[in-house]
């Protein structure tokens, strides 16, 4: 696909201001079966939970048939029908606390076409930066991929599993997917509408959100080393994870860096990540 028509979107910037309120953090804690009372005014917000804030408010008339906002707003109007969050590269520079007023600046940094197993794809990279009083607290390069929808679902062959130092079960159910969709204002119907997920996008079941899997990995790592602070976190989707799958969060430390993954029952990963700690 020729992306020349989208190159003028590079450098486009969007600025928003939001207050880190207790309610969204408490609601995600409850959805993850944690104690909501741990998240009150001045409590530290866990890494990645900024995804609960700065959410777009889209009128019903401006919503597309897949549940996403109609094409052609801040992001380029790529014509390929399927849109997914492919992965991110995050840097953490300081703690965020409930009650903070932050500024988020989002900038489109790259638009590129590639050809993959499923055909043509377009990748749009957006850099997000969250600041308080001018000081950056978190930065993220997010890759959004647009692709075609196949006539039938073709399973992706699992990559060979690597030996792991630890693992824990991931609790998946449609209620969690619905709650996470609501908390992140992600109306993409593949996460809560089985008829749409199967009939239109050809998935065999509801799809587990990529950012939810990223939060699972980050929280599992933090439970094992609660005194340490993450410095960087990168993740990428490898293949879909579905509501009917059994999955585990796995980790191993290689040369001082923590390698994380979400793994299905067949032993293959659905998402892979790397985490480094502040030294």
For residue 117, the model assigns a pLDDT of: 74
DSSP string of 97-160, one letter each residue: BTT-EEEEEEEEEEEEEEEETTEEEEEEEEEEEEEETTEEEEEEEEEEEEE---SS--PPPPPP
Whose tokens are 């978190």? That residue is 138
Structure tokens at 275: 């985490």
Taking alpha carbons only, the member of 81, 79, 78 closest to residue 67 is 81
CATH of 10-277, one of 3.10.129.10, 1.10.357.10, 3.20.20.70, 3.40.50.970: 3.10.129.10
Q: How far is CA 58 from the centre of its chain?
A: 19
- The answer to whether 55 and 184 are in contact (CB under 8 A) is yes
pLDDT for 236 equals 97
Buried/exposed code over 151-180 (b: 16+ C-beta within 10 A; e: otherwise): eeeeeeeeeeeeeeeeeeebebeeebbebb
d(CA 265, CA 278): 33
Output the pLDDT for position 161.
74
Helices (H) and strands (E) in the chain — how many of each? 4, 10
pLDDT score of 239: 95
- pLDDT (0 to 100) of residue 154: 87
pLDDT along the chain (279 residues), means of 10: 88 97 98 97 98 95 94 91 96 98 98 87 97 98 96 86 90 96 97 98 97 98 96 97 96 93 94 96
- What is the chain's Cα-based Rg? 18
Domain extents in the chain = 10-277
What is the model's pLDDT at position 4? 87
In angstroms, the CA 102 to CA 121 distance is 34
On whether the CB atoms of residues 142 and 126 are closer than 8 A, the answer is: yes
Q: Long-range pairs for 184-191 at CB < 8 Å and ≥24 separation?
A: 184/51, 184/52, 184/55, 184/209, 184/211, 185/55, 185/56, 185/57, 186/67, 187/58, 187/63, 187/67, 187/68, 188/66, 188/67, 188/68, 188/83, 189/66, 189/67, 190/66
In three-state secondary structure terms, 92 is: strand
Model pLDDT, residue 160: 74
């Amino acid at each position: 696909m020729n992306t020349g028509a989208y190159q003028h979107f590079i450098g486009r910037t969007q600025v928003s201001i939001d207050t880190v309120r207790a309610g969204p953090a408490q609601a995600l804690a409850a959805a993850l079966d944690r104690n909501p009372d741990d998240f009150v005014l001045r409590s530290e917000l866990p890494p990645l939970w900024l995804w609960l804030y700065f959410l777009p408010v889209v009128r019903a008339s401006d919503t597309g048939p897949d549940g996403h906002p109609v094409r052609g707003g801040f992001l380029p109007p790529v014509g390929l029908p399927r849109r997914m969050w492919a992965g991110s590269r995050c840097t953490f520079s300081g703690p965020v606390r409930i009650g903070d007023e932050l500024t988020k600046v989002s900038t489109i940094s790259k638009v590129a076409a590639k050809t993959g197993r499923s055909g043509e794809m377009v990748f749009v990279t957006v850099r997000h930066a969250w600041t308080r009083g001018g000081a950056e607290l978190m930065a993220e390069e997010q890759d959004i991929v647009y692709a075609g929808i196949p006539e039938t679902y073709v399973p992706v062959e699992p990559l060979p599993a690597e030996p792991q130092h630890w693992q824990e079960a991931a609790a998946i159910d449609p209620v969690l997917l619905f709650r996470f969709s609501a908390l992140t204002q992600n109306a993409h119907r593949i996460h809560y509408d089985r008829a749409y997920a199967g009939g239109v996008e050809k998935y065999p079941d509801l799809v587990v959100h990529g950012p939810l899997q990223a939060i699972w990995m980050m929280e599992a790592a933090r439970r094992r080393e609660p005194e340490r602070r993450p410095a960087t976190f990168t993740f990428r989707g490898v293949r879909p994870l579905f509501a009917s799958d059994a999955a585990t969060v796995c980790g191993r430390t290689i040369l001082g860096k923590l390698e994380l993954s979400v793994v299905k029952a067949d032993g293959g990963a659905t998402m892979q990540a790397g985490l480094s700690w502040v030294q």
